[in-house]
Amino acid sequence: MTTLVVVERTPDGIYELSLQALAFARRYAADQPLHALVVGESDGLEGVLGEHGVSTVHVAEHDAFSSYAPAAVARAVLDIMSRTETSAVVAAGNERGNEVLAHVAAIADLPFAANCIEATADHPALVTRVRWGGSLLEEARLHGAPVLMTVQPHSVAPDAVAGESARVERFTPALHEADLVMCVRERVGAATGGVSLADAKVVVSCGRGAGSPEGFGIIEELAGLLGGAVGCSRAVTMAGWRPHTDQVGQTGTKIAPDIYIACGISGATQHMAGCKGAKAILAVNTDPEAPILASADYAVIGDLHEVVPAISAELRKVRG
Ligand SMILES: Cc1cc2nc3c(=O)[nH]c(=O)nc-3n(C[C@H](O)[C@H](O)[C@H](O)COP(=O)(O)OP(=O)(O)OC[C@H]3O[C@@H](n4cnc5c(N)ncnc54)[C@H](O)[C@@H]3O)c2cc1C
């Protein structure tokens, strides 16, 4: 039996959440060979995949994989499942990983557990998964084989081993027209100043306390000084002040920066679901009773329109 991980690539390597999924899969079935699926091209990835415990990388080749096409990726997974005795299929618990495994589950009529933080290869498998934006941990038994799981982002650290380069097996899955109906046709870059919200070491975020879209000027300034990314709450995206790509939370991006500076954000559970991976939280809020203070490591009780420019001014002074 083998464990298969659906691996997403970045322009220059492997997506951090996929490395986390590989560590999770190795922990789940330490005694089984670990296989990976990469769609499109795999050039040079076999070395780094080997370092993360992968013995075989299946490279699915097809024109469809020049863009993201979730049902087509699911077909590639099913193709491997039909040829290899697969005990579990694991993917990152982001939108893409959850979407691909949902297609696999629907086509193969299998149960699927999203956002797992732990799993035991029992019969049936026992999983612990995050529900309700992080306010509930659910233990569940997964009846069905192979076991389909995605991994809650940042719940497991990537874990390299001294493995040899993975063996590469190329194949072309048989795709149906329906598998290609949904695919990415165009990408429009967000104006993030080059630092992606999901990967940023510093995130400066603002909520309704910004007061207006213009209120984000001082947030952008501080983020720029710290080499970080700008985030926001859903109240802000709902008001149309910032794009959804900036939203942190259950229905936004899950982040794990070294420091999260949350200004004028109350700290609703749905927001905290997206930033609980932060190593430290600094809250700036006028309300000493704001719920975010219960999770904050540092807090400034005050008006963000005064506090944030003061931090930026101090940074400039220190840097000369
Ligand atoms: C299904 C579902 C999914 C959701 N998903 C998300 C999600 O992904 N992300 C998310 O963020 N929310 C999400 N929400 C919404 C969430 O419940 C809250 O409504 C939202 O996070 C509130 O945003 P906020 O903190 O900016 O606004 P508010 O709750 O209005 O809080 C504003 C805060 O700013 C403070 N403040 C005001 N003025 C100032 C000032 N001048 N200086 C300093 N502080 C000030 C106030 O004291 C207050 O604490 C979701 C809700 C649902 C139902």
C-alpha–C-alpha distance, residues 137 and 128, integer Å: 6
Residue 272 belongs to what H/E stretch?
Answer: helix 269-275
Q: What is the mean pLDDT of the chain?
A: 93
Q: What is the pLDDT of residues 296-312, one digit of tens each?
A: 999 999 999 999 999 99
Atom 35, ligand 1: residue with shortest CA distance: 264
Ligand 1 pocket test, candidate residues 244, 281, 286, most atoms within 8 A of CB: 286
Mean pLDDT of 270-279: 93
Q: HSE of 85 in the Cβ direction (CA atoms, 13 Å)?
A: 3
Cβ atoms of residues 195 and 228 within 8 Å? yes
If you measure from the C-alpha of residue 267 to the centroid of ligand 1, how many angstroms do you get, rounded to a whole number? Answer: 6
Confidence (pLDDT) at 189: 65
What's the pLDDT tens digit per position in 20-44?
999 999 999 989 999 999 998 777 8
How much distance in Å is there from the Cα of 79 to the middle of ligand 1? 44
pLDDT at 97: 97
Residues forming beta bridges with residue 247, ordered by sequence position:
232
Q: How confident is the model over 103-125, as pLDDT tens digits?
A: 999 999 999 999 999 999 988 99
Look at residue 217 in the predicted model and tell me its pLDDT. Answer: 96
Work out the average pLDDT over 156-162: 89
The token pair at 8 is 């997403």
Angle at which helices 304-319 and 217-226 cross, to 10°: 30
pLDDT at 173: 96
Q: Which of 232, 265, 303, 305 most suits a substitution to test ligand 1, by most atoms within 8 Å of the C-beta? A: 265
Q: Which atom of ligand 1 is nearest to the CA of 250?
A: 8
Q: Which residue has the tokens 């999983």?
A: 127
Q: Nearest-CA neighbor of 113 among 81, 146, 83?
A: 146
Ligand 1 in contact with 301 (CB < 6 A)?
no
Distance CA 116, CA 155 (A): 8
CA–CA–CA angle 203, 206, 207 (5° rounding) = 140
Give residue 185's pLDDT.
85
pTM for the whole structure: 0.71
Question: Cα(284) to centroid of ligand 1, in Å?
Answer: 13
Ligand 1 binding pocket includes 207 (Cβ within 6 Å): yes
Most informative mutation of 205, 236, 248, 266 for ligand 1 (most atoms within 8 A of CB):
266
Q: Whose CA is nearest to atom 38 of ligand 1?
A: 209
Nearest protein CA to atom 50 of ligand 1, as residue:
270
Residue 94 to residue 251: CA distance in whole angstroms: 11
Give yes or no for residue 232 CB within 6 A of ligand 1. Answer: no
pLDDT at 297: 97
The residue nearest atom 22 of ligand 1, judged by CA position, is: 235
Nearest atom of ligand 1 to the alpha carbon of 233: 11
